[in-house]
Amino acid sequence: MAGYIPSTRAEREEMLAAVGVQSFDDLYRDVPAGMLLHDGDLNIPEGMSELEVCRRVSVMAAKNMVFPTVLRGAGAYDHYIPSIVKYIPAKEEFLTAYTPYQAEMSQGILQSIFEYQTDICELTGMDVSNASVYDGATAAAEAAAMCRDRKRRVTLISAAAHPDTVNTVRTYCYGTGDPLVIVPAKDGRTDPEALKELLTADVASLYVQQPNFYGQFEDTAAISELVHGNGSMLVLGVNPIASGIMASAREQGADIAVGEGQPLGMPLSYGGPYLGFMATTAKHMRKLPGRIVGETVDSKGERAYVLSLQAREQHIRREKASSNICSNQALCALTAGLYLAAMGPGGLAEAAKQSMSKAHYLAKGLCEIEGIELVYTGDYFHEFVTTLPKREEVLKALEDRGILGGLPIEGGVLWCATEKVSKEELDRAVSVVKEVLGA
């Protein structure tokens, strides 16, 4: 790499003269001298050789605990990632590419986004998807903002949704001064009776997660009927892996489908970067934040890709914008598209079936131990909540044997199993729990 400053010395001097200063230091003359850094102030040590850097980084990396067996989810899931999904996004032409502002110059990036959008539409049953947002919680908050109009400003959100999603939507509502009301949960699901009471004429939308934070399947048919009967919109947060065997979000009555795309080929990576997907019907297309890539033909009649739609007020008339999302997670979206292409409908369904069956197998094994039982008895996907005596002791014992146990939550422990964990690993985890509890 030659350098970070593309202009010549003569060009830089010309620019300084144009603004009426002699040097770059003059640009900072209003900054107190004590705040300025000078040569040597940072006390940066001498550089190291490549071998020395590798040794230093290896020592740092060894402090991380990488669990061979993961029985925890709660929004970030340890699924198998095919090798090709890791390889292609690492190619420098994808890895170094940013959001295409000179869009039509970036045909490869645009094509990858177009194919990602197509996949998300097929997964959710919706007509149109944007080019992604930062994460699933952001997608939920942006969807809630989409639903508001002059007369309807209240957002409802289920207490059975992920706590981080609830807090993110709350933050967005605080910023715009709009009310957020939590719909209570009953037996691990959204309480329909409480929902009926809260559906007033000023409610713009309800956000429900399917499956929800506790792994339970919501009765979306009944919820959709209540919400639409009130003239409000239903925003459904969906698990993309579960969508491989479930009815689509549209079939469940959703007006907008959102979710966290991390299960689609992205490693846990200590929390990111992740991917928020959003899809909706053609009726609400122009309210969708971010950008939409479309397919067309060029002057020679050959296939080409363009930025079909992006709300320009997000960039320019920001004070009137319903959203200020101007970027997208292009590399993560490419990864998700590659994962879905590599897995195919059959592979995605198989991952979902195995995740669900292994979770039920784990639950059965745990609940055979005295003192452990399911907290919620309804149907669930690949997460469930149990009681757990000696919770800290059990989780520590599992950790000592290379097993990341469930997430401690109020009332019990939230467990998860994916297709990646084997039957032998599940049996070993159950035996550790038995050992600690003296069963």
pLDDT tens, position by position, 346-400: 999 999 999 999 999 999 999 999 999 999 999 999 999 999 999 999 999 999 9
pLDDT reading at 1 higher than 50: no
Residues 54, 112: Cα–Cα separation, whole Å: 34
pLDDT interval class at 101 (50, 70, 90):
low
pLDDT interval class at 10 (50, 70, 90):
very high
Tell me: the pLDDT tens digits for 232-252? 999 999 999 999 999 999 999
Average pLDDT over residues 107-112: 87
User: Which comes out higher in pLDDT, residue 97 or 54?
Assistant: 54
Could you tell me which residues come within 8 angstroms of residue 165 by beta carbon, excluding any fewer than 6 positions away? Answer: 136, 137, 140, 141, 157, 207, 209, 237
How many CB atoms are located within 10 Å of the residue 413 CB?
22
pLDDT at residue number 33:
87
Mind giving me the DSSP string for 325-377?
-----HHHHHHHHHHHHHHHHHHHHHHHHHHHHHHHHHHHHHHTSTT--BS--
Burial (Cβ within 10 Å: 0-12, 13-18, ≥19) of residue 254: buried
pLDDT interval class at 328 (50, 70, 90):
confident
Average pLDDT over residues 57-74: 94
Please determine, looking at this structure, whether the domain spanning 83-339 carries the CATH number 3.20.20.60. Answer: no
On whether the CB atoms of residues 274 and 262 are closer than 8 A, the answer is yes
pLDDT at residue number 68:
95
pLDDT at residue number 300:
93
Length of the chain: 439
Dihedral sign (CA 329, 330, 332, 338): positive
pLDDT above 70 as % of the chain? 95
CATH 3.40.640.10 region(s) of the chain? 83-339
Average pLDDT over residues 46-60: 95
**Planar angle of CA 285, 286, 289, nearest 5 degrees:** 90
pLDDT reading at 312 higher than 60: no
User: Which comes out higher in pLDDT, residue 179 or 309?
Assistant: 179
- Low-confidence winner among 37-41, 219-223, 276-280 (lowest mean pLDDT): 37-41
State which H helix or E strand residue 278 sits in: strand 276-280
Please determine, looking at this structure, whether the domain spanning 69-78+346-437 carries the CATH number 3.40.50.2000. Answer: no
pLDDT at residue number 99:
59
pLDDT reading at 266 higher than 50: yes
For residues 129-167, b (16+ Cβ closer than 10 Å) or e, as one string?
bbbbbbbbbbbbbbbbbbbbeeebbbbbbbbbbbebbbe
Mean pLDDT score of the chain, rounded to an integer?
92
CATH 3.90.1150.10 region(s) of the chain? 69-78+346-437
**What would the two tokens of residue 59 be?**
């020592």
User: Which comes out higher in pLDDT, residue 371 or 5?
Assistant: 371
